[in-house]
Amino acid sequence: LEMQLAAEALQRMGILDRQRFLEKYATTVGRTLYLPFEVGVPKGGWDLWAQVVVCVHEHQHVVQHDEEGPSYELAYLTSASARARYEAEAYTCNLELHSWRYGTLPAVRPIAEGLKHYGCRPEDVEVTAHTLALTSVSVRHGAVVSEATNVALEWLNSHVPHLRAKQG
């Protein structure tokens, strides 16, 4: 029910189409993740690694909620620039996980461009692309700055170290 309400709210606010949201997007409200897949069950477009990445990304939104309380959700829903800032922080998890898994970094421009589907303005996309490019420099040198990624990497290194890119 909450996912349906979120989808309706996002559509009414002109942020995202209701059906597209329900089929393609994960979201977090407070400390609850709403996912378009059952965790651990591969589904079209959501292989197990993609599920890990999405869950870590969404957990970073839980971290944001825990740090800011209800003002996080209010800012996310009402301010395109705040939404872009929060997503840039969560997309940092995606960069960190990609680096761990593949030993490379994805291009940040396409990631930032995805914010157009979140109702973000072109200038918000530019700031996000710049933020992610700067963050990529640290990640390329081995930094892990996201709390959610730190937790995930601890688990991944303990349970599936063979998935990590060969180093050196």
Average pLDDT over residues 16-27: 86
Q: How far is it, in rounded angstroms, from Cα 16 to Cα 168?
A: 43
- How confident is the model over 34-84, as pLDDT tens digits? 899 999 999 888 999 999 999 999 999 999 999 999 999 999 989 999 999
**Which of 149, 80, 148 is closest to 115 using CA atoms?**
80
Q: How far is it, in rounded angstroms, from Cα 54 to Cα 135?
A: 19
- List beta partners, residue 29: 32
| Continuous segment of H or E residues that includes residue 27 | strand 27-29
Say which residue, 16 or 125, is predicted with more confidence: 125
Q: How far is it, in rounded angstroms, from Cα 56 to Cα 153?
A: 10
Whether residue 168 has pLDDT greater than 70 = no
pLDDT band at 121 (very low <50, low <70, confident <90, very high): very high
Q: Which DSSP state fits 118?
A: G
Tell me what pLDDT residue 23 has.
Answer: 83
Is the Cβ–Cβ distance between 45 and 34 less than 8 Å? no
- How confident is the model over 87-118, as pLDDT tens digits? 999 999 999 999 999 999 999 999 999 999 88
Tell me what pLDDT residue 137 has.
Answer: 98
Q: Token digits for 20?
A: 């597209």
Average pLDDT over residues 141-163: 97
Q: Where are the beta strands (DSSP E) in 48-166?
A: none
Whether residue 10 has pLDDT greater than 90 = no
Number of H helices, E strands in the chain: 8, 2
